[in-house]
Chain A
């Protein structure tokens, strides 16, 4: 039985998840598979690029955010996925050794009109590094199952 349902989220609610440390090895491994650009693959080439040093792919940063919130609450929730992200902004490079935290703010919630078993949670996720510098901000429409009525 999931711990969290749609009803557990209220507008204005703020929670924090993480930290999760990023290693050079995983930055390079993700890049080799999905985003093989020099600044994500190789320290030397990265130094010569516009970011000035090895940094994580923006999509890798999104995937790390997903893992942080999965461990934070999604795996304990009646999660039904997400319909999308109205906005994703990459604000600063994510470097090897960064310990990333995610602050989630619930912006709005609404019950689905067509599907009574679920509701939507619109949330904003701010990802910061150990220096509290924002590295990414993302808004998303999460879908969560509703709490079953007591028998």
Chain B
């Protein structure tokens, strides 16, 4: 990932997109969220969703995959420039996680993030807290998923 000092509020990144197949929706749900509308096409048809749809946690997990790959690309780019990439920092949590519309089988969700706030912290010297608004949008342009995430980012050494 990049250094805290190199980030700016308002910067937006497209993280890539993913098409949800019936197989993976059911595989995730069988492990973690085996509600009928996530594991069985027929039962899903009879439910209020009307069609097989992904667990909200599955959508979140797929977002994460794209975010990690984005940070990896940033680190690779830093190395290519001969720099040492910033160290990874923990996330204290997220807020305002919203599942706005179902993610149905066959939907292609495009993920993006926008830096909302860069907060210097006194409690964690050498680190800053980065707050970002993260979204998932389907192929019809509808916002289906969003949350505000926070993560510690390393600062450049002064001197």
Are the C-beta atoms of B32 and A67 separated by less than 8 Å?
A: yes
Given contacts A66-B33, A67-B31, contact A37 B60 (CB under 8 A): no
Complex Cα spacing A13 to B87, Å: 43
Q: Which residues of B contact A81 (CB under 8 A)?
A: 35, 37, 49, 56, 99, 102
The reply to whether the CB of B12 lies closer than 8 angstroms to some CB of chain A is no
Q: Of the 9-residue stretches A3-11, A83-91, A102-110, A126-134, which lies at the interface with chain B?
A: A83-91
4 closest cross-chain pairs (CB), A and B? A89-B93, A34-B61, A63-B32, A84-B98
For window 97-130 of chain B, which residues contact chain A by CB distance below 8 Å? 97-100, 102
Complex Cα spacing A70 to B55, Å: 12
Complex Cα spacing A39 to B87, Å: 12
Q: Of the 9-residue stretches B2-10, B62-70, B76-84, B135-143, which lies at the interface with chain A?
A: B62-70
The number of chain A residues with a CB under 8 A from chain B is 35
Ordered by A's residue number, 8 sampled pairs between the chains whose C-beta atoms are within 8 Å are A34-B65, A50-B87, A59-B57, A63-B28, A70-B34, A85-B94, A88-B93, A88-B97
A63: nearest chain-B partner, CB-CB: B32
Q: Which residues of A contact B65 (CB under 8 A)?
A: 33-36
The reply to whether the CB of A22 lies closer than 8 angstroms to some CB of chain B is no
**B3 CB, nearest partner CB in chain A, Å:** 16
A77: nearest chain-B partner, CB-CB: B35
Q: Which residues of A contact B68 (CB under 8 A)?
A: 35-37
The number of chain B residues with a CB under 8 A from chain A is 34
Contact of A70 among B28, B35, B97, B99 (CB under 8 A): B35
Given contacts A59-B61, A62-B60, A63-B61, contact A37 B88 (CB under 8 A): yes
Are the C-beta atoms of A90 and B93 separated by less than 8 Å?
A: yes
The reply to whether the CB of B89 lies closer than 8 angstroms to some CB of chain A is yes
For window 23-75 of chain B, which residues contact chain A by CB distance below 8 Å? 28, 31-35, 37, 47-49, 55-57, 60-62, 64-65, 68
Complex Cα spacing A87 to B93, Å: 8
Are the C-beta atoms of A58 and B91 separated by less than 8 Å?
A: yes
